């Protein structure tokens, strides 16, 4: 299977650019101001995989920011999910983010593919995009459409409400967020 993977930040404050027809006054989305008494974060990170076989998205939110310690559990989850769907290999296109090309991720992929070849499951072949070429990743326009569809011009959304809107838009289930790990270890069930 061919898939396009990327990480994105969903902001509770910033508004995406929109185009709309109006009769009288132009529609303007104004960026919400941060409130220092608001305990919720201003934004949240999310990993996504665009499946070319179904055009569906697989999403996982992240507590914190995308790093190698979050990427390896994501890759384990993706391969387990695809193996359960009968896929034996994933050709995954992604950018050259530092958490994609780290030694930890490369070592995890090597161990995972060796184990997948011996025991079965879904192996991964990574196809990195050239530097500074996001237009080659087919998931990028999906992110922008999702941000436009989930925008709220009148108020700041709570994190949980934003997560539910995002999952409803992409028609995927809301799962527990991935948490950052200090070190990685290979587990088949990750």
| Any domain includes 25 | no
**Within a domain: 19:** no
Give which of 74, 102, 83, 72 is closest to 185, Cα–Cα: 72
Which CATH number goes with the domain that contains 109? 3.30.420.10
Q: Enter the DSSP assignment of 188.
A: T
Q: What is the DSSP letter of 102?
A: S
Does residue 33 lie within any of the structural domains?
no
- Measure the CA–CA gap between 58 and 171, rounded to whole angstroms: 9
Whether 101 is in a domain gets the answer yes
Q: Is residue 185 part of a domain?
A: no
**Which residue range is the domain that position 158 belongs to?**
2-9+42-179
Query: Total structural domains in the chain?
Result: 1
pLDDT tens for the 190 residues of the chain, in order: 999 999 999 887 766 665 566 667 766 666 666 677 777 778 899 999 999 999 999 999 999 888 888 999 999 999 999 999 999 999 999 998 888 889 999 999 999 999 988 998 999 999 999 988 888 999 999 999 999 888 877 788 889 999 999 999 999 999 999 987 655 455 554 4
Beta-carbon contacts of 6 under 8 Å, excluding residues fewer than 6 positions away, are: 47, 48, 94, 95, 137, 139, 140, 143
- For position 30, what pLDDT does the model report? 62
Q: Is residue 189 part of a domain?
A: no
């Amino acid at each position: 299977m061919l898939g396009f993977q990327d990480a994105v930040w969903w902001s509770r404050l910033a508004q995406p650019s929109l185009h709309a027809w109006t009769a009288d006054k132009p529609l303007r989305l104004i960026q919400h101001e941060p409130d220092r008494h608001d305990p919720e974060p201003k934004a949240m990170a999310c990993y996504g995989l665009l499946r070319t076989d179904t055009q569906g998205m697989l999403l996982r939110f992240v507590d914190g920011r995308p790093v190698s310690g979050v990427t390896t559990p994501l890759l384990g989850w993706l391969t387990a999910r695809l193996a359960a769907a009968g896929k034996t290999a994933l050709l995954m296109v992604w950018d050259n983010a530092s958490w994609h090309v780290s030694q930890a991720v490369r070592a995890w992929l090597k161990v995972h593919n060796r184990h997948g070849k011996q025991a079965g499951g879904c192996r991964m072949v990574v196809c990195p995009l050239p530097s500074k070429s996001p237009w080659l990743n087919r998931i990028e326009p999906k992110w922008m459409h999702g941000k436009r569809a989930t925008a709220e011009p009148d108020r700041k959304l709570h994190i949980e409400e934003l997560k539910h809107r995002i999952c409803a838009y992409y028609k995927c289930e809301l799962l527990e967020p991935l948490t950052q790990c200090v070190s990685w270890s290979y587990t088949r069930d990750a």
